[in-house]
Structure 1
Amino acid sequence: MIVSEQYLKELLHKHYNMEKLSSIEKILGYEDQNFLIQDAEGKKLIAKVTTDLLDPYFLEAQLKAMAHLRKKDKNIRIQNVLANSDGGAYTVLEVDGNILYLRVLSYLDGTFMGDLKDCPSEVIDSLGTTLANMDLYLKDFSHPAAYRFTEWDLAQVMTCRDYLQKIKDHEKRTMVDYFLLQYEMEVMPLQHQLRKAVIHNDANDYNVLVKDGQVSGIIDFGDMVESQLINNIAIACTYVMFKKQDPLSAAQTLLKSYHRIYPLTETELSVLYYLIAARLCKSVTTSALQRSKSENVHHFISEKDAWTLLYQWIKINPLYAQNQFNLCCGYATVLGHEERDLALKTERKQVVGTNLSISYQKNLKITRGALQYLYDDKGDTYIDCVNNVSHVGHCHPVVVKTMQKQLVKLNTNTRYLHDSLVTYAKMLTATLPPKLNVCYFCNSGSEANDLAIRISRHFTKQKDVIVLDHAYHGTSTVAMELSPYKFDSKGGSGQQPYIHKGMNPDLYRGHYRYGDEHAGEKYAEDIADIIKQLSDKGTGIAAFICETLLGVGGQIPLPDGYLKAVYSHVRAAGGLCIADEVQVGFGRVGEKFWGFELQGVEPDIVVLGKPIGNGHPLAAVVLTEEIAAAFNNGLEYFNTYGGNPVSMETGIAVMNVISEEELQQRALETGNYLIEGLKKLMEKHVIIGDVRGKGLFVGAELVRNRETLEPAVPEIDVVVEQMRDRGFLISTDGPFHNVLKIKPPMVFNIENAASFLTNLDEVLGGL
């Protein structure tokens, strides 16, 4: 029921003896109908009308809490409750079958904190003091109605998952889902250790009034609840951080003033980062839900600021935030230190093979991952520009929850029937050419390449395999034999007589270069020559294997027509064509789902690895029915955990995320932006000799001289280290280790790319 100003005037006259009112003005509210009233003497009051109140007893609880606070401190900055003519704190009316609840409160002068262009530190300090006093005074307050369920209680924030699909933007929805997962893992196990009390629960930017640089009032006890005390502080921290370049500093100011009056515990501070994120998640999911059923602008008043802060928040290392919270409250640091890392490295050398290298001169101890971000133990945040293994992002919530759900049910071998094995195989083969319709599952790309070669040798009755120079196909014995990158390197075992190296089809520094429209066919002739040489010796070939974009070989897209010509030569000689899609597949190249599609060919066998399980040990070999039938020769193929239920559910989740979040399109758009930006830097910095790639498979080759193509080493190592210091993790590849390798998780966005380009520009300019 909508209450008019005239009708309210009549009610106030009848029930509050207000005879002369100079004005009544309806003002915005979240749920109640609110009115600003003014009497003939200019005194202002607030009238609130509530309809369809589900729990009248809770209204009484709010008013009793306010009275309790007023009794503790008559100058406390909350509203007074005006009694009606019967002495009651509120008035209950029945009008046309509707029950109305009317109350009148004193008016608090001031500007809403949310309307300030920039909330100054003295206001934030004042809010911390005010809130601490309120919490301290409410410490001994209780009321049965406060022990209730409300979705705005941060202890109940997981209800947000019910509304996630209301957030239409994929990136935003995933970020919210990520933070809810972290809340589940980090906060919920500690809830029983957190102090509880009746709290205001909504010190948001439009419930806090400011005047003369101080908080003049906190209004609206409608979200009051018995909950964890730290939730109250988390909510206040959230809103003082709005519109801040350095949001963490604002939170520290509030915490410091709060802690002086009502000390917080270290355990409470340890979960504050995720509680702030939880409040933001609640705010944005509620806004998304309300869009479908409300036109009340008050429901969306903080939405833009909340999203902005969420994007800022995920870039802040949770350990760094916890450390800052600790320090401002007088507790010890929680950050790692060099001595601890030195001890860890010493222990690592004692128990782990020393030829397992550690990246970067200043080694990193990464403690957490968040989609495209990595956090270390020193409090630093890094944008991951190189870990293509985490294809859909580190700790992607959909993938993690799927793995957890299956892991608590069953994980066993494939000698038992399981639906997800068939489901995933169907999903996978549906993305491939129709003839590639049989799957074998294993645990790594190395194992998959090993199996692919074994199958090809069985099918052709030949042993010889052609690979490309500088290629890398894995760490098993057979995979190492396929990898010139390994067997030709220091300590390598050397080339086996049945392995043959084809020319690396490099259009930048190879025999045939950019501008030669027939370069693909010319490079393919090198493979034909190898086949002929073998044929002249009476030897056939089992297979030709290559990545469909060359990774370790230098981040090289294959020349147009190359695979079409090569596959023709190989098949004419009775060999099989194997596409290594371990680093390339699943939409990374943007234009197509698989790298071989860029070449307009259909392999006989496709090998899948790294991205298939988002870092979970899962890989696959997909082949034709004919080849699979020949391999089924009576000798069983069995892989204990290849195709296990957890792996299959993980693979399904990854495929669903790629599709539902349109990550192939993201790779195309972000990749195009990144490559174009790198080409502009190439015009400015002569050290960049070549930029190449497709989608989010990108390389930039650094040279000292564009004519001689002398590799820019060690200059490239300086670039990598300085970019690391600026928060960007990249690596090098190529035969001369002079190619910047850029293959980030698929959630890497244009903002990340723009920041990367800006910093790379500055680093190159300083060489």
Structure 2
Amino acid sequence: MADYLSDRSITHNVGRRDGVTPTANDHDAAPTLAEDSARVAEVVRRQYGLDGRVRALPGERDRNFRLVTEQGDGYVIKVHAPGADPAELDLQDAALLHLAGHPVPRLIPSLDGRRSVTVTWDDGPRIVRVLTWLAGRPWADVEPTEALLHDLGRQVAAIDAALSDFTHPAMGRDLVWNLTSAPRVAKLAALLDDDLMPLVTEVFDRYAEHVVPRLAALPHQVVHNDANELNILVDDDGGIAGLIDFGDLVWTPRVCGLGVALAYAMQGHADPLRAVLPLVRGYDEVAPLRTDELAVLFDLARTRLAMSLCMSAHQHANDPGNDYLLVSRNGVADVLRKLAGTSPDLAHFALRDAVGFAANPAARAVRRHFTSGEARPVSVLDEVHLGGRHGERTREGVRLGRDLRTDASVTVRCPLPAVVHAVRGDTVTLAHRTDDDVPFWTLYRGVTGPLRPGGVLAPGDPLGATNGKNLRLHLLTHLPDRVPDLVEAAEADLWTSVSIDPNLLLGHRGGGAARTGRDAAALAVRRRTNFSRALGLSYSEPLHIVRGEGAYLYDEADRPWLDMVNNVCHVGHCHPRVVEAVSRQVALLNTNTRYLHESVVAYAHRLVELLPDPLRVCFFVNSGSEANDLALRLASAHTGARDVLVLDHAYHGHLSSQVALSPYKFDGPGGQGGPTTTHVCELPDPYRGRLRAGRDDDLGPRYAAPVASHLATLKSRGLRPAAFFAESLQSCGGQIVYPDGYLRAAFEHVRQAGGVCVADEIQVGLGRVGRHFWGFETQDAVPDIVTLGKPLGNGHPLAAVVTTPEIARSFETGMEYFNTFGGNPVSAEAGLAVLDVIQDERLQANARARGDQLLAGLRRLRERHPLIGDVRGEGLFIGIELSLPGRAPATAQAAAVKEAVKARGVLISTDGPDANVLKIKPPLVLTEADCDLFLDVLADAMIQVEAHIQ
């Protein structure tokens, strides 16, 4: 990799594109500087203790040198020009120190701890500073891919975020390259050629009119202010290696720094604005942009380009023999010419859309005008036959507006109070206003008549007649120069915010807009902008899944993926009996449990028949998290206690009450530890735990002893437990199968202390473990409360709590328990159908047979692949723990295996405290052939991954 340095050789200049001495590498130093290398070498040896080869780098006023030590360490020596402002240099130094840990040059102190030293030079005293050399290629020398632009946005935002609390006495300096100095620089536009002057003048006029009134209200801070193509370094992996050159640091509106980055990143693209939208999205992901910042961002980027042209012309006027000062003019001018055809309003909408806001903020008010009943439109045509739908995706693009078909020439009427805005050929545009005085427009393409601009129309007034063809109607929230009937899919969200659904005006039932389809890349982009990043995606290249059947998922290309991890669609994806039951009931009735209904009563009884005595009182909820939350309330109501025992690495749900019971969450990334009422018991892990299978005896009772110890501690403090929560087999903790007798012994300790025992069956219930219908039955234990979730509805949101009459009655305090959707007839019918399918298709037995097949095959694989440390499971709940020597967790290898298996068409996941356990928990309809396929795929993946282990 070549190494580069950006040299701010002319104060207040921005780099090669603006007509300054370019960044140089260490191939050929300027001859006039070479004679100073020995002097610089002596200075840094004496003042900094650095020794090595020194070579001069180009520069005009500053002297710049590169030093490379015998160890290969690189440094930049800046010998600043006489008269350099020490305060401004100290500003740079303080900022670099503030940014320690970020990918920026590091300031090297002198041997006596000073940030800089002053030396005698031929032309007077000069300040010397030493920085570390950052390796990388400049942005100008690489192809700016969408991923690289996105990464650049994140890096610029990270620097801005780090500088948000940085202050310095010199930060408010008068810097001509501060975008707020645009009015001063605008005076230099007279130096430009006649073809460029109008472009630049328009930009500065727009700045004065639109930007200046908004600047004061924007968030201000110190920004880097110079992310140009020579100050951005790219590494060999195609990511941003760092930002250099902090000579233009200044206190200014935060968004100005992003505007500078956009200005330079736009160069070299056919569509400059669209090209840099990934950069804006990347910035917003790290440092969310405000709407008022987005309102001026496009103008700020154009202003930077205009300032660049003016400053270049000014410098060339002062040094007319130096044509190099004009070297960047063509590139900057080319961008400005391309942007001249871009409406600033549409650019603003595009920027809003890029980060997830509604593109046109006025669209909401216009929609409300119609949906609230404020607007009372009359019919545009007496009889309407609707054509293609607004937002519909066709081969040519996404359709905007709506076709109103007519068999002959008919009269078109004005639907609302209006003023004729424009008449152009067969196109009429009417201007309207909401009751809140928000403007909007209707556009009719295919109408001829006597209308003239400025005419006032009342509802029902004729606009003219159709010309015998379809009438195309647009309902507009903004009036661009051209209203397209078709747009590219990539711009559909922007344009459907400008040309909104005309059915708001037409009011035809069933005649609304189509849903614009998106490909996988567009879905991922929109998801990033409108979803929290706390919601993750599986796999390094996420799948775009569009349907499922049995044990398989299918992507948008109809490629099948064997699903070995989805324990939600318990009886198979889209099982026809479940689909039919839900469809049938949803067409009849869906209401709550305050009415008598056969389905939910029948379902409750079916569950009770499947559970051991004395579990017979049912509560219905929507999710496993809700079920566990209710179980906690039941336990507290019954015992009067608040303290709860849980197992280490357990996960019981995403509600606040359940995160508090989940060490998997509160002791994991982002967790803040558990509450004092949660007591974490040792996980009985026979493979990596304190007691191990094959080495220790009586693992179950001995692992249960810490439960008794926690209970004894509570008793000594005058407390008793509300409950002991345990997954019947632990899932997120690494597919742990407890040693025999563990739950039975632990439950006995808890009950003796006055607590209740909760079995969380959300991951493992309904026959998954094969030998039994419930996971707790493998331990010969009966809980006091059972919580059920994921598999109950086969993807329909259905969950339940089943408990004893005694505990249920403790909950009857006079406060009614009500759950709006829990136990609704549609959910109940889904649950009944799932139970029918399990029974009729003998899926519990299939889980046992296929589990035995997989466990046997996996154990054979373990003999050939030392990376497989343990194979464990019950039925179709299996864990494959990957280990390095000494049972160290093979976390990276597990992730690699998951991706290698996915590349071969099979889906699994990883989990456990160290994310080194491959999780197998597929739908119970898995076939013998599916198991053979998985074993073959895993064997190939293991060979691939083990080949790369050092």
Q: TM-score, normalised by structure 1?
A: 0.55
Classify the secondary structure of the residue corresponding to 2:616: strand
- Supply the distance in 1 between the matched residues of 2:519 and 2:670 (Cα, whole angstroms): 32
1:758 and 2:936 are equivalent in the alignment: yes
2:735 maps to which of 533, 547, 555: 555
Q: Which runs of 5+ in 2 are unaligned?
A: 1-516, 946-950
Q: Residues of 1 paired with 2:927 and 2:697: CA distance?
A: 33
CA distance in 2 between counterparts of 1:661 and 1:517 reads 40
SS in 2 for 1:668: helix
| Match among 395, 400, 414 for residue 593 of structure 2 | 414
SS in structure 2 opposite 1:603? coil
Q: Distance in 2 between matches of 1:600 and 1:760?
A: 34
- Paired residue for 2:918? 740
Q: Which residue of 2 aligns with 1:664?
A: 844
**Is it true that 1:387 corresponds to 2:387 in the alignment?**
no
User: What is the match of residue 44 of structure 1?
Assistant: none
Residues 480-502 of structure 1, C-alpha deviation per residue, up to 9 Å, x if partnerless?
Answer: 11110011112113210000100
**Once the two structures are superposed, what CA deviation does each residue of 1:240-263 show, in whole Å capped at 9, x if it has no partner?**
xxxxxxxxxxxxxxxxxxxxxxxx
Alignment partner, residue 651 of structure 2: 472
1:341-352 to structure 2, matched below 5 A, reads 341-352=520-531
1:583 aligns with 2:728: no
Q: Deviations over 1:154-206 (max 9, x none)?
A: xxxxxxxxxxxxxxxxxxxxxxxxxxxxxxxxxxxxxxxxxxxxxxxxxxxxx
Task: From 789, 796, 811, give the equivalent of 1:609.
Answer: 789
Structure ranking higher in helix proportion: 1
Deviations 1:47-67 (A, max 9, x none): xxxxxxxxxxxxxxxxxxxxx
Task: Give the aligned residue type for 1:480.
Answer: V
> What's 1:624 paired with?
804
Aligned match of 1:377 in 556, 573, 579? 556
Query: 1:718 maps to which residue?
Result: 896
Tell me the residue number matched to 2:724. 544
Runs (4 or more) in structure 1 with deviation over 2 Å come to: 338-343
Q: Does 1:429 align with 2:608?
A: yes
The Cα of 1:750 is off from its aligned counterpart by 1.3
Residue equivalent to 1:103? none
Once the 2 structures are TM-superposed, how far is the Cα of residue 766 of structure 1 from its aligned partner? 2.0
CA distance in 2, matches of 1:649, 1:493: 41
Cα distance in 2 between the residues matched to 1:424 and 1:342:
42
1:230-269 equivalence runs, <5 A: none
Task: Give the AA of the match of 2:535.
Answer: L
1:646 is aligned to 2:829: no
2:713 aligns to what? 533
State whether structure 2 residue 703 is matched by structure 1 residue 523: yes
What is the letter of the counterpart of residue 392 of structure 1? V
Number of aligned positions between the proteins:
428
- Please give the per-residue CA displacement for 1:256-297, whole angstroms capped at 9, x wherever unaligned: xxxxxxxxxxxxxxxxxxxxxxxxxxxxxxxxxxxxxxxxxx
- Matched with 1:404 is 583
- 1:643-692 per-residue CA deviation (whole Å, 9 max, x = no partner) reads 00001111100000000000000000000000010000000000000000
Q: Distance in 2 between matches of 1:354 and 1:392?
A: 31
Choose from 573, 578, 581 the match for 2:753.
Answer: 573
- SS of aligned partner of 2:604: helix
1:506 aligns with 2:685: yes
1:273-292 alignment, distance < 5 Å: none
The structural deviation recorded for 1:727 is 0.6
Shift of 1:340: 3.4
Distance 1:700 1:342 in 2: 32
The SS at the match of 1:369 is: strand
Corresponding residue SS for 1:615: coil
In structure 1, distance between residues paired with 2:645 and 2:518? 49
* Alpha-carbon distance between aligned partners in 2 of 1:418 and 1:341, rounded to the nearest angstrom: 43
SS of the residue 1:761 aligns to: helix
Match of 1:446 in 2: 625
C-alpha displacement at 1:525, in angstroms?
0.2
Alignment-mate amino acid for residue 465 of structure 1: V
Equivalent of 2:544 in 354, 365, 378: 365
Give the aligned partner of residue 660 of structure 2.
481
Q: Distance in 2 between matches of 1:518 and 1:607?
A: 28
| Superposed counterparts of 1:13-32, under 5 Å | none
2:675 alignment counterpart: 496
The aligned counterpart of 2:634 is: 455
**Which secondary structure state, in structure 2, belongs to the residue aligned with residue 714 of structure 1?**
helix
Cα deviation per residue 1:31-80 (whole Å; 9 max; x = unaligned)?
xxxxxxxxxxxxxxxxxxxxxxxxxxxxxxxxxxxxxxxxxxxxxxxxxx
User: Equivalent residue of 2:800, what SS?
Assistant: strand
Tell me the alpha carbon deviations over residues 202-225 of structure 1, each in whole angstroms, 9 at most, x when there is no partner: xxxxxxxxxxxxxxxxxxxxxxxx
Q: Secondary structure at the match of 2:887?
A: coil
Amino acid aligned to 1:745: P
Q: Give the residue type in structure 1 aligned to 2:624.
A: G
1:724 partner letter: K
Cα deviation for residue 568 of structure 1 reads 0.6
1:633, CA displacement in angstroms? 1.5
1:682 aligns with 2:862: yes
Alpha-carbon shift at residue 537 of structure 1 (Å): 1.0
Q: Of the two, which has the highest radius of gyration?
A: 2
Residues 105-128 of structure 1: CA deviation (Å, up to 9, x unaligned): xxxxxxxxxxxxxxxxxxxxxxxx
Question: How far apart are the structure 1 equivalents of 2:697 and 2:742?
Answer: 11
Shift of residue 381 of structure 1?
1.0
Q: Residue deviations 1:333-366, cap 9 Å, x none? A: xxxxx99322221211111111101110011000
Cα distance per residue 1:367-424 (max 9 Å; x no partner): 0101101001133210000000110010000000000000000001111100111100
Whole-Å separation in 2 of the counterparts to 1:720 and 1:503: 28
Of 616, 631, 635, the residue aligned with 2:815 is: 635
Amino acid at match of 1:537: R
**Letter of the 1:521 counterpart:** P
Mapped pair 1:597 → 2:777: yes
The alignment's TM-score, normalised by the length of structure 2, stands at 0.45
What secondary structure sits across from 1:760 in the alignment?
helix
Which aligned pairs between 1:119-198 and structure 2 lie closer than 5 A?
none
Q: In structure 1, which of residues 724, 731, 743 is the aligned counterpart of residue 909 of structure 2?
A: 731
1:217 aligns with none
CA distance in 2, matches of 1:713, 1:491: 19
Counterpart-to-counterpart distance in 2, 1:761 and 1:584? 26
C-alpha offsets along residues 558-603 of structure 1, whole Å, 9 cap, x if unaligned? 1101011101100000000000000111000000000111111110
Q: Offset at 1:434? A: 2.2
> Deviation string for 1:704-760 (max 9, x for gaps)?
11xx11111211111111110111000001100000000000001111011100111
CA RMSD of aligned residues (A): 1.1
Task: Structure 1: give runs of 5+ residues left out of the alignment.
Answer: 1-337
For 2:698 and 2:518, locate their aligned partners in 1 and report how far apart those are by CA, in whole Å: 58
